[in-house]
Every structure is written in C-alpha cells, then in structure tokens.
C-alpha cells in the first residue's frame, strides 16, 4: 500500500494498482465483499453474457434483501426479494440472461433500456419467452409494460427502437399487413437483412437510425446495398429517424404511394407455374 502497488477498492478488498479500474477484478471484489448470495446483475450480467461490447460504467450487483452496505460510486446494488438463478463467469456468479435484461431495463431510461433489450434478443442471448417468464417471477419491475411492448414488437419483427416506433406509428394500418419484416436476401454471396419487404412489389423499406447511417462510409455502404438489391428488381425506400419520429403520417403516405405505384407497373408479380412444370 505504501508503495502504491495495491489499491483499496472496498473494505478488506484490494486490487493490484495497474488493474484497479478494470471491470473483472472490481466485479470479483464486489461479489466477495457483498456476500449474502450476491451476483452480477443488470448491465454487468449482460456484459458477462456477451450482450454488450464494452463493460458498463458501474458494477451492478443483485443481492438478498438482508444486504445493506454503503457502496462506492462505481458500485450499484439492487436488493431482490425474488429467487435468482445464477451461473458462473469465471469466479463470479451472474444472474441468468433473462433476469439480467429485466434488471437492466428497470435501471435505465427509455432509449438506452430499449436498445439493451433489443440487442440481447437479436444476439439470441435470450428469447422473448424467457424474458416474459423472468418478468412473471419478479413481483416489481420498473418499466414492466414498456419491456412487454419491446417483446411484442420483437415478435412482430422489430429489431431496434426505431423499428419499434415505425411498427407502432407508421406501418400499423391494414395495407401493410402483407409486408415481411426482417427479410433476408442474398446477392452475389452477400447477405442483406431488409427492415420491411413487400414481396408483391419487390419493395424494401429501410428505417435509418442516426447512429448507423450518417457517416460517409455508412452512406456509401447504403448506396452499394441499394444498387445490389436493384439488380434483383428490388427498389429501396429510406426513412430517417427524424422522418419516423416527427412525421409518421407523411412516412405512411409516401410508403403507401410507392407500393401503389409499383403495384401499378406489375413489378414483382408472382409467376404461376403450370401443373407438371414445378420443380
């Protein structure tokens, strides 16, 4: 300690100073210090399960109601009255992914928590049905209805906050009932996942979130993608985050007009194969 080789991070818990700000040793120290059946929970558990690319800013613990200790700024403790099944992340216990999603959702604000939930579902770390089961086992969850709305939207094909808003605010009327959400297309060995696809008119509708489509590289990637899809006769219509959030009615009218125009030109009509000619 005098030579600064060790850093005290918690009462009776020390970490080698070069690693005293690293997530893994802090998580290990926190679990051992908290005891009372403590385990990593919330975003910390999601990181351990691979649901986040970078460790969270705080170590989040889930403990029994008996645990009541003053915590440093880097540590957050949630006292749970429900049973918590756990697994091991190295020497550290972590709650299972479904409960981690519920805990993380309860601890964050609207867009962040929705993004966390969608990422875990998209990466198949957890299924929507598993999260629903975890919700049933947890008597009180902040944002329960909002999380249930995310699960419903995911089941209907939404994979992001923007796509969920599009599903609810723009493409919620009957004329879009035949479109396919999250349709996969391969062109010259490249895979493209279409947000919304109308097979009757060969039309793709893309919802461009600001975080992934504003840079010059992203714009160039979108141009090449649209050109590749066009070789199959698929036309792409794009709406920005601002379009969907600020002018949903206009987006709906534009999408409706495009589908009607492409239907009128008989683009993408299915070809009827006579009996005996099917393979």
Each residue's pLDDT tens digit, 142-173: 899 999 999 999 999 899 889 999 998 999 89
Angle between helices 161-169 and 144-155 (to 10 degrees): 80
Full set of structural domains in the chain with CATH: 6-155 (no CATH), 162-264 (3.40.960.10)
Closest CA to 167 of 183, 185, 150, 184: 150
Q: Which helix (H) or strand (E) holds 186?
A: strand 180-187
Q: Could you tell me how far CA 73 lies from the centroid of its own chain?
A: 27
pLDDT of residue 122: 92
Q: pLDDT tens digit string along 48-107? A: 999 998 999 999 999 887 555 678 999 999 888 888 899 999 999 999 999 999 999 998
Q: Mean pLDDT in the chain?
A: 88
CA distance 158 to 51: 18
Taking a C-beta distance cutoff of 8 angstroms, is the pair 158, 166 a contact?
yes
Place 131 in a pLDDT band, splitting at 50, 70 and 90: very high
pLDDT of residue 266: 57
Q: pLDDT tens digit string along 189-231? A: 999 999 999 999 999 999 987 655 566 887 899 999 999 999 9
Kindly report the pTM of this predicted structure: 0.79
């Amino acid at each position: 300690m005098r030579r600064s080789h060790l850093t005290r991070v918690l009462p009776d818990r020390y970490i080698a100073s070069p690693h005293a700000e690293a997530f893994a040793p802090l998580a290990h120290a926190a679990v051992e210090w908290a005891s009372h059946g403590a385990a990593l929970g919330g975003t910390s558990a999601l990181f351990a399960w691979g649901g986040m690319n970078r460790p969270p800013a705080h170590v989040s613990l889930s403990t029994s109601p008996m645990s009541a200790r003053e915590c440093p700024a880097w540590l957050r403790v949630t006292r749970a009255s429900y049973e918590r099944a756990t697994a091991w992340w190295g020497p550290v216990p972590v709650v299972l992914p479904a409960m981690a999603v519920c805990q993380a959702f309860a601890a964050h604000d609207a867009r962040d928590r929705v993004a966390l939930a969608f990422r875990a579902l998209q990466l198949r770390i957890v299924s929507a049905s598993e999260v629903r089961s975890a919700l049933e086992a947890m008597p009180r969850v902040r944002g329960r209805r909002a999380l249930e709305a995310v699960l419903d939207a995911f089941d209907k094909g939404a994979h992001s906050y923007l796509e969920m808003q599009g599903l609810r605010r723009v493409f919620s009327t009957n004329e879009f009932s035949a479109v396919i959400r999250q349709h996969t297309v391969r062109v010259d060995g490249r895979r493209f996942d279409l947000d919304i696809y109308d097979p009757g008119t060969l039309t793709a509708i893309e919802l461009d979130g600001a975080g992934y489509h504003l840079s010059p590289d992203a714009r160039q990637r979108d141009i090449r993608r649209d050109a590749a899809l066009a070789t199959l006769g698929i036309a792409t219509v794009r709406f920005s985050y601002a379009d969907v959030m600020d002018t949903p009615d206009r987006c709906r009218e534009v999408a409706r007009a495009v589908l009607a125009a492409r239907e009128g030109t008989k683009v993408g009509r299915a070809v009827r194969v006579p009996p005996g000619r099917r393979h």
